[in-house]
Amino acid sequence: MRLSSVLFIVILLLNGLFAVAQSTGAAACIDQAHKVLDEAFTLMQKHYYKKDSVKWDELVTSAKARISNSGNCEGAQEALQWCFQQMKEKHSFIMPAVKADAYNGNINSSTPPLSQLIGPLRSEMVAPGLAYIEVPRVSTADPAICKAFADSLHGIVKSYHQSGATKWIIDLRNNTGGNCWPMLAGLGALLGNGVHGYFVSFNERIPFSYKDGAVMQGRYARCTVSDPYTITGDKSIIVLTGPNTASAGEIVALAFRGLDNVSFFGQPTAGLTTANATYKLSDGSMLVLTVCKEADRNGKIYEGRLYPDKYIPAGSDGKDIVKSSAIMFLQVD
């Protein structure tokens, strides 16, 4: 047999082995995707807050078909996002493995910049006795980062109060959500001790509250500041909201509902007034699943947007009409 013929046969064998390897790899990916999908559906059918309204058999069958047709390792994530669309579920989603690790503080090789995890925390004394604080998103559950944020926010409130602030503007317009606990702990001196709202599920109503530096979910402390500060005496608060106030940002807004001398200025919120729980899946991704509704301190359940007491359209040409209106209102008050 000539050398060229031998080489041709070898090439055919190698191509065949490569094709088999590709086929085996694709099959393994599809198997893994089906496994992740099964894990997610088990959790969804048990914990999803509208589970009784979903036709699970039809949804599971369609999702599995999408995975089989996709033939890639991300098939489960794509299928689950599709499922949420079919369910008309706007708040639940799948967080990819890399983002899930960053959110949970599980990054060993490199830590994401803090600016990716927390928005800018801005504040100023805009007039004698009148403090302004912009409370940003907190996109991490890392305990150290959350505690540091809560301490920083709590310290700002303490500093302004000791400087004579009795009137406050709490700006949530850029708070797109994340982790509500460090936000609530940081604002605890303004919220005061007591129950500030409820998480309402199928057969229970769990309060979220603040007491002496700790923000609680039922009996469990979720975030505690290092140096609790208490504000006594009268205070007036205006909370600013808008269409970017979402999820955890809306929980913070809800916590101020029903407090004496609190008003809401701006535009309606995003309408994600439900609470999510997180579940780690075997591929490293995380199921962020809506598990309950939210209620204010008086037990009123909110489904959809939170509407301000005073609607003020967003400004233009760099003018912040909402903030300036709040300042004028408090100065006259």
In this prediction, residue 318 carries a pLDDT of 77
Residue type at 240?
A: L
The model's pLDDT over 128-170, given as tens digits with 9 standing for 90+, comes to: 999 999 999 999 999 999 999 999 999 999 999 999 999 999 9
- pTM listed for this prediction: 0.87
Higher confidence at residue 201 or residue 188?
A: 188
Q: Are strands 93-95 and 286-296 parallel, antiparallel or unpaired?
A: antiparallel
Distance CA 173, CA 244 (A): 6
The model's pLDDT over 72-102, given as tens digits with 9 standing for 90+, comes to: 667 788 999 999 999 999 999 999 998 998 8
Helices 56-70 and 75-86 pack at an angle, to 10 degrees, of 140
The model's pLDDT over 210-266, given as tens digits with 9 standing for 90+, comes to: 999 999 999 999 999 999 999 988 999 999 999 999 999 999 999 999 999 999 999
CB 182 within 8 A of CB 146: yes
Which of 96, 39, 159 has the alpha carbon at shortest distance from 286?
Answer: 96
Contacts of 219 (CB under 8 A, 6+ apart): none
According to DSSP, residue 207 is labeled: E
Per the document, the length of the chain is 333
Residue type at 69?
A: N
Residue with tokens 């991300």: 74
Return the percentage of the chain with pLDDT > 70, whole number: 89
Distance CA 252, CA 272 (A): 12
Least confident of 26-35, 52-61, 182-191, 210-219: 26-35
Positive or negative: CA dihedral 179, 185, 186, 188: positive
CB 250 within 8 A of CB 270: yes
Burial of 19 from C-beta contacts in 10 A (0-12 / 13-18 / 19+): exposed
Distance CA 77, CA 283 (A): 10
Distance CA 90, CA 60 (A): 19
pLDDT level of residue 32 (50, 70, 90 thresholds): confident
CB 237 within 8 A of CB 168: yes
pLDDT level of residue 27 (50, 70, 90 thresholds): low
In this prediction, residue 132 carries a pLDDT of 98
Residue with tokens 């609680």: 216
* Alpha helices in 143-287, H assignment, sequence order: 143-162, 180-186, 188-191, 248-256
Neighbours of 179 (CB within 10 A): 23
